[in-house]
Structure 1
């Protein structure tokens, strides 16, 4: 770690020297590039300076302790070194996380698809509960949510609901939600009070721009149909809903939540681009996970990742063996502890990979 930090500081000094050269102002692109690189390096350089300062103080205290010329001073040095040890441990953990290269996908917005799995009506109700959990979590992050497609269930909840989230680091936090979510509880329709097991699947796709995916319009079949559901009274009067089929891959997307056909088509194209981009991203993740043997980001979207046990108030994430007993708060959107733990473990996996390389 120290060697890596030395390299970063050396590069930081090179960038500073380059920015002080008057000729760089004649090249705005170069100046912008250097400014960004300086900003990216500056925090780590400050951490390195703090790390060195703590080490110097620790070594100075060790000398005082070894000399043991004054009992009071020796005791003070021992106490300070205990504090320094704790500060160093925390600082080193922070530095390790910052040394992991950022995933360029993390800054993207996301499209979330929640679908009822095994379990009939109860699975649809649980899919609705997951949507409500994500809605509240998004509110806590100040993200903007937009509905894209809804298929409601007769007994409540959703057979399928698709929505987008827009804000800071959306995909970087939500990507760990992809997979099968299992629920264990007594359904409202259960008269005998027996616990049932149901499931819902969640897919999290990075929202991408047109430049990220090349789609030939000749490969698309676009159908319009009369919308139904949560869009309001207008939905039964016009063929505003859009269904787009990408014939080479068989991918089908549809949107009916907007009032106009044009708006629905625009959203449907966003969904299609994200799905096509995600196919390639999943291939990369699987290849990377096979090398890393990561439990957090395996690229296997069909894997069971979570169990929500309501009788015990227990939330378990099977990828990192995380068990929490605050299920009520989690279902109200308090996902921070789980997502933070997954992000830390994923970064540790990546860090170990860097060390091995």
Structure 2
């Protein structure tokens, strides 16, 4: 059985091989362009015309290698590419309208999961009257889920006329989203995030709807990670064991997110503007129903088809665009680091 070191070495060799193949292809294409350019002065007009067409095609190929292939191979591979995601959604300003918008966003992300072959499971949610959701926690299991959804962290703003608004006045409501790396129990041995000596565990009776079971059994669990002060409460499952397992899963995800954020901040001190607009307190996107548009404020991208985002696959375009922006920022940081070296 291969060791983790062997697997990492093989992966590194594969990445080096891909870069070498791309460089060889670029050199061969450039040589072909030079040979073709020599035919521009051929006395045969048809030959000159063919040479011009071939040269244009080869130039486009070279441009594509420089703009797309090389950057994708030079950017360090993501260390979180295999991780699933844990998404927390909380309604903000706007009361019942914010809760309704949260339900809309939740359906949008569930549809995205179906389109990308991720498995979406609702861990916990608090429904409100009228079909809204006050807050929810959702698992998205599948390769690439965290790397794709991590950029959804932040404040999502909706501007629309609520169903209950008799005067037709547009209201502004918000939903705050936090996306964490989903840490499975099997991941503990790979990256020990905490010691049980640092954990304070409390059990209590669950609150809310549920009948006698809720009132008579101590099934609710609250765990506190003393060094960081992170507290997780869970009461949605029927048994204490299930709530404890869920709570530790959320704690691992939050601690892993804290670790990744700390590492990102450390890289920012050495590479200016490595990642732009990742602050979760910022308004990252606006969904304007009256103008049928969605705008991502971090990258200045606007789409004039709100329905395709909320009801189709339009959200994928925003996720792809933000990922490209991140990759470009990484490349800029690498270039700045090399120039300053």
Normalized against structure 2, the TM-score is what?
0.87
In structure 2, C-alpha distance between the alignment counterparts of 1:273 and 1:96, rounded to whole Å? 33
Query: Aligned pairs, how many?
Result: 330
Contact persistence 2:84–2:181 (CA under 8 A): yes
The answer on whether the counterparts of 2:205 and 2:214 sit within 8 Å (CA) in structure 1 is no
**What is the distance in 1 between the residues matched to 2:278 and 2:261?**
5
Give the conservation status (yes or no) of the 8 Å contact 1:315–1:323: yes
1:98-137 alignment, distance < 5 Å: 98-137=73-112
| 1:189 match: secondary structure | coil
**Structure 2 partner of 1:347:** 327
Distance 2:136 2:76 in 1: 33
Q: 1:295 to 1:314 in 2, by over 3 A?
A: farther
Pick from 247, 271, 280: which aligns with 2:259? 280
Q: Structure 2 vs 1, CA of residues 135 and 85 (structure 1 numbering), >3 Å: closer, same or farther?
A: same
Distance in 2, matches of 1:263 and 1:215, equals 20
Name the SS for the 1:193 alignment partner: coil
Higher helix share: 1
Deviation for aligned residue 1:151? 1.8
| Aligned equivalent of 1:254 | 233
Cα distance in 1 for partners of 2:153, 2:214 equals 31
Q: In 2 relative to 1, CA 232–106 (structure 1 residues): closer, same or farther, beyond 3 Å? A: farther
Distance 1:204 1:84, change over 3 A: same
Query: Any conservation in 1 of the 2:205–2:219 contact (CA below 8 Å)?
Result: yes
Q: Distance in 2 between matches of 1:172 and 1:126?
A: 24
- RMSD of the alignment, in Å? 2.6
| Cα deviations by residue, 1:69-112 (Å, 9 ceiling, x for unpaired) | 32111111111111122222222212212210022123211110
1:194 matched residue in structure 2: 169
- TM-score (structure 1 length as normaliser): 0.84
1:88 aligns with one of 62, 78, 83: 62
1:278 deviation in Å? 1.9
Matched ranges for 1:174-193 at <5 A: 174-193=149-168
- Contact residue 242 and residue 265 of structure 1 kept, 8 A: yes
Matched residue, 2:47: 73
- After superposition, the C-alpha distances for 1:36-74 in whole angstroms (9 at most, x for unaligned) are 333223332322222222111111111111x33321111
Where in structure 2 are there 5+ consecutive unaligned residues? Answer: none
Shift of 1:165: 1.1
Pair 1:148–1:120, CA change in 2 (3 A) = same
Could you say what secondary structure the match of 2:49 adopts?
Answer: helix
- In structure 2, what is the Cα distance between the partners aligned to 1:354 and 1:262? 47
CA distance in 2, matches of 1:301, 1:28: 38
1:45 maps to 20
Mapped pair 1:142 → 2:117 = yes
Partner Cα separation in structure 1 for residue 256 and residue 5 of structure 2: 31
Mapping for residues 259-270 of structure 1, pairs under 5 Å = 259-270=238-249
1:167-226 CA distance string (max 9 Å, x none): 011111011001111110011111111111111100011123333402334531322333
Structure 1 residues 240 and 329: alpha-carbon distance in aligned structure 2, compared to 1, 3 A threshold: farther
The separation in 2 between residues aligned to 1:181 and 1:28, in whole angstroms, is 43
Match of 2:80, SS state, is helix
For residue 356 of structure 1, the aligned residue among 323, 326, 336 is 336
